[in-house]
Chains A and B, each alone.
Chain A
Amino acid sequence: MMIKESFGSRLFDVINILLLLVLSFSMFYPFLYCLVISMSSEAYASQGGFFLYPRSFDLTAYKAVFSTPHLLSGLLNSIARVLIIVPISVFFTALCAYPLSRKDMPHRKPLFLFVLFTMLFSGGMVPIYLLYHSIGLLDNRMVYLVGGLIAAFNVILVRNYFQNIPDSMHQAAMIDGATEWYIFFRIYLPLSRPILATVAMFQTIFHWNAWFDAMIYMSTDSKIVLQAFLQRIVIQQEWQGLRDIYVGLPPEAIKAATVVITVIPILFVFPFVLRHFSKGIMLGGLKE
């Protein structure tokens, strides 16, 4: 039998939908704006205003951006950074979270507080710079790995997820003859795919968007990542050289094209991660 909704309830739904549409559009529009501007000719791009579709179709800005020597190296550095560092980072995050999730781990509380401390307080930029300098990480791509290997927040997320796996699962594996390593690799990691996918996505976004470390620690242009390149174009106005080659190309179009190039790859990651989110984990077990 259909339950008839009251007028108030329907009005509530309509307002909710409208608000969500406005919110979605406010998030989508900046990206659309960049896409439109990047394809617009000088006349439209410099005119400004509200654009929903390109008034002209001009890919010169993309041609110009791709012609710069460091875009491609930046893109490759960013892709390599994500592909190499994210799996390593997720693994070490889980490895750190596992013992912290075990109730029988000696000194678990102080160790956890130690991890938590690093989330709240950092050593500061200068000491970290000096540290990296002393261990030879300046102008070394390893700095991307060392600097962003483990985030305390992610460790806490994974630890909490591990704690929700019934203890009996661990006990059953112990009785079956599994070692802690075996339990970690064959029981906990497979059961934690949703949280590991979440952490992987957080780390992917973090490493893809990171530009500050490249700017501070890298002195060779070919070692910087894509976002540092974007930062140079947008903030440090490094589009001047392109204007000399591509006469009449509006700076807004160059900046917008660079933004689009840096954003598109990361948009492809989300659908791959999404499918892991919806799956529950404790389908074979029950409440503790």
Chain B
Amino acid sequence: MSDLVLKKVTKVFGNSVVAVRDFDLQVESGEFMVLVGPSGCGKSTTLSMIAGLEEPTSGEIIIDGQMVNTLPPKDRNIAMVFQNYALYPHMTVYDNMAFSLKLRHWAKNKIEKRVKEAADILELEEYLDRFPKALSGGQRQRVALGRAIVRKPKVFLFDEPLSNLDAKMRSIMRVELKKLHDRIGATMVYVTHDQTEAMTLGDRICVMNDGELQQLDTSLEIYNNPKNIFVGSFIGSPQMNFIEGILEPSVNGSQFSCDLFSMPLANLKTQIKVIDAKPVTLGIRPEDLSTRSKEDTPGLMKGIVDVIEPMGKETFIYIKLNNHRLTTMVKPGKRLKVGDEIELSIDPNHISVFDLKTGVVII
């Protein structure tokens, strides 16, 4: 059953700024859905509309089977965790967590029980009497989570909750969030621009750009089979390599040709029939660009090492080839220096081919 459904939701600010356009989304009960996209893509606006902080211009928002477009935030059975925590600085951790329950006129002992339960889950018992200023960033974020979970809402909304934490704390909190989701099994909608968070946390990921849904799928499916150039370039770090060329018919079916190489696409698992030559963009992930090449390898290219980025367990190599710049990954032991000539080959089983004009995937 779906806990949250968005049907053709559109938000227009003023008369002309379309923040979200015809957005459809269905979040299943207990699912961890991540909305990911660059700044200004409409993901936070979408979350605000779900929360009731923004009114949709058109479309329907349904939570737990009820249309909530006209309901105020407090009646939507949702809780939200904000990027800046939004804790009340003049209240203790206990009061922050109990705030919403007090407003709902719960009995004092019930409030205490619920707050202590949440504090236990989040390991906050010893901080209940402290004020937010006496907590670290990670602890504050846990309090913000606690404030959300005390109410046991139907849907949790997270608006870039880890953005204000340092890299180490971010990865710790990511794991804690994942564990929290597994433990309470709640429906969660999580907004982020960080693809690592999106990939690691989401049961499914919804990639957005310019207010529109680009692709909705599991993280691996999105990574391996992007539906368009935007998704291919946005998901993955370093980003996917793109080479413009021609997709044309050949004896074995089809082949890709560009100023660097020609490559038959006969062995592809998904094969298409090409009747006329058409301009396309070939997409290849850096890890699928091999530096160990034989002379007869299809898609063989020669380039010059431009930049080397050692990352520890792997090294990113940025290579110049004529007017192209490609990125590949090598093992740290590989001895390379800037200016070295390097041979690259493409694994035809791990490529994506996009229509040059529309950017939509063909293969």
Interface residues of A (CB under 8 A from B): 166, 168-169, 171-178, 182, 187, 190-191, 281-288
Contact = CB atoms under 8 A, between A and B. Distances in A.
Contacts, number: 81
B133 A284 contact: yes
B88 interface: yes
28 contacts: A166-B84, A168-B82, A168-B83, A171-B51, A171-B73, A171-B86, A172-B147, A173-B99, A174-B73, A175-B51, A175-B79, A175-B80, A177-B103, A178-B99, A178-B103, A191-B90, A281-B89, A282-B89, A283-B132, A283-B133, A284-B88, A284-B89, A284-B131, A285-B84, A286-B83, A286-B164, A287-B84, A287-B164
Contacts of B103: 176-178, 182
B82 A284 contact: no
B78 interface: yes
B85 interface: yes
A172 B82 contact: yes
Nearest to B48: A171
Contact of B80 (A166, A172, A283): A172
A285 B87 contact: yes
Nearest to A182: B103
B84 A175 contact: no
Interface in B58-102: 72-74, 78-80, 82-90, 96, 99-100
B83 A174 contact: no
A175 B100 CA distance: 8
Given A283-B89, A286-B84, 19 more contacts: A168-B82, A168-B83, A168-B86, A171-B53, A173-B88, A175-B52, A176-B99, A176-B103, A177-B103, A177-B104, A178-B99, A282-B89, A283-B131, A283-B132, A284-B87, A284-B132, A285-B89, A286-B85, A286-B164
B100 A177 contact: yes
Nearest to A172: B86
Given A177-B104, A281-B89, A171 B80 contact: yes
B142 interface: no
Closest 9 CB pairs of A and B: A284-B132, A284-B89, A283-B133, A176-B100, A177-B74, A168-B86, A284-B87, A172-B86, A286-B84
A245 to B, nearest CB: 56
Interface in B277-294: none
B204 interface: no
Nearest to A189: B90
A172 B132 CA distance: 15
Contacts of B79: 175
B74 A168 contact: no
A288 to B, nearest CB: 6
B140 interface: yes
A285 B74 contact: no
B82 A171 contact: yes
B292 to A, nearest CB: 48
Contacts of A191: 88-90
Nearest to A286: B84
A177 B78 CA distance: 11
A281 B100 CA distance: 22
A187 B88 CA distance: 7
A190 B74 CA distance: 22
Contacts of B104: 177
Contacts of B78: 175
A169 B86 contact: yes
Residue among A182, A281, A285, A288 having the largest count of chain B Cβ atoms under 10 Å: A285
Contact of A190 (B72, B87, B90, B131): B90
Residue among A187, A281, A286, A288 having the largest count of chain B Cβ atoms under 10 Å: A286
Contact of B84 (A168, A173, A174, A176): A168
A281 to B, nearest CB: 7
Contacts of A174: 52-53, 72-74
